[in-house]
Structure 1
Amino acid sequence: MDTIYLRDIELAVTIGAFAWEQKISQKLLLTLTLKVDTRAAAASDELADALDYGAVLSRVQALAAELSPEQPVRLLETFAERIATTILAEFGKVQSLTVDLAKVFIFPQVPRIGVVIERGR
C-alpha cells in the first residue's frame, strides 16, 4: 500500500475541555497519513484515478469550521475520530489512515500536545 500525506495542516477551531477554551479559537496542527493504492493513478496520470487530496483537505477544513461554541467538541480524541470516520466514509480509495492532531503551545514548555489514531476498513 502506498502513502499520501498532508502534513502540518493549520486549523483554527473552538475545542477544549474547559469553559474558557470553548470561548476562544485555538490553533491545531493536523497531519494525515493516508494509505492508498496509487498504481492506477500512476499508470493513467489522471486525477480521476487518484485520491484527490485537495478534496480531503477541503473536507477536513469543513469539519474544523463546524466546531464552535454552539457545537462544542471537548477532546482532541473526539475530533480526530470524526476526521478519520469522515475520510473513510467519503473517500473510498483510502484503505487506512493515521490522524495526528495536536494543540500548539497550550503549555509554555511543550510546543505540541496531541493524539495520534490509526483507523482502517
Structure 2
Amino acid sequence: MTRTLLRLSVFVILAILVFVTLSPIGLRPVVASANVERMSAYALFGFLLILAYPKRWYLGLVTGMAVAGILEFGQELSPTRHARMSDFLVKAVAAAFGSLVAYLALAAYARFERPSASR
C-alpha cells in the first residue's frame, strides 16, 4: 500500500511539474522565488522517485534529470515561456540531490533494519 501511494505521488508531482512548466506564465502559481520553487519541486520529485522505485534508483536519478531537461526544452514551444540552461541546471541538480537524499535514507534504514531482523 505504501509503495502504491509513493508511486501515485510521483505521477501527481510529475503532472504538477508539467503544468507549471509548460502552461502560460500567467497561470503558474507563485509561492516563493523561482529558483526556490524549482529546487523544492525537483528535489521532492527526485526523492519520491527513489522511494517509489528503490531497486531501480539509478533509473530514478536519470529520470528526474531527464524530466527537467525535457520540460525545460518544452518551454521553447510556448510563446509565453523561455528555456534557459541555468534553469535546467537548477532543476537537474535539485532532482539529483533529492534522489541522493532518498538513496542515503534507504541505505541507512536498511543498515539499521538488518540487525533487528535477525533477533
What range is the shorter-chain TM-score in?
0.3 to 0.5
The alignment's TM-score, normalised by the length of structure 1, stands at 0.32
Q: Relative contact order, CA 8 A, sep 6+: which one is greater?
A: 2
TM-score (norm 2): 0.33
More helix as a share of residues:
2
